[in-house]
Amino acid sequence: MYTEEQAKAKMQRFVDYQNNLIVWNEEGEPNIIIYEELTERHPFGWVFYWQIKDDYSNFLAGNGPIIIEKDTLNMFKMMTAISTEENITLYKKDKNKLLQLEEDQDGFFDPVNI
């Protein structure tokens, strides 16, 4: 079983990966963060929320919350068209209906269950 700190470290690597894909602000600095105060703790693991830092005029689209499993550290990206609660219900019924992301040795996060 993994700790919340290990899950958060994996989530931070994912956010860093996203930040490296695109230059986000005028200074060329990365601007995506984990909103730690929104992190949800569940028996199966954690739900992390991520978004542009303090820029409410330039939100990311399609960046659903991420589930990280406590037992495996597997990552599942939630759909944005349904609520977090509906995503969690879907995850509990059949987690393969959510997009699973796997970190490779090069630091890329690839979908593995398309």
Residue-wise pLDDT for 15-47, tens only, equals 988 888 775 666 666 678 899 999 999 999 999
Strand 45-48: give its sheet, edge to edge: 40-42, 45-48, 66-69, 75-77, 99-103, 109-111
Q: What is the distance of C-alpha 104 from the center of its chain?
A: 16
Residue 17's contacts (CB-CB under 8 Å, 6 or more residues apart) are 107, 108, 109
Indicate the helix (H) or strand (E) that contains 93: helix 84-94
| pTM of the complete model | 0.87
Indicate the domain borders of the chain: 4-111
Per residue in 37-88, pLDDT tens? 999 999 999 999 988 777 666 666 668 899 999 999 999 999 999 999 999 9
- Tell me if 80 sits within 8 A of 92, measured CB to CB: no
- Tell me the CATH class for 4-111: alpha beta
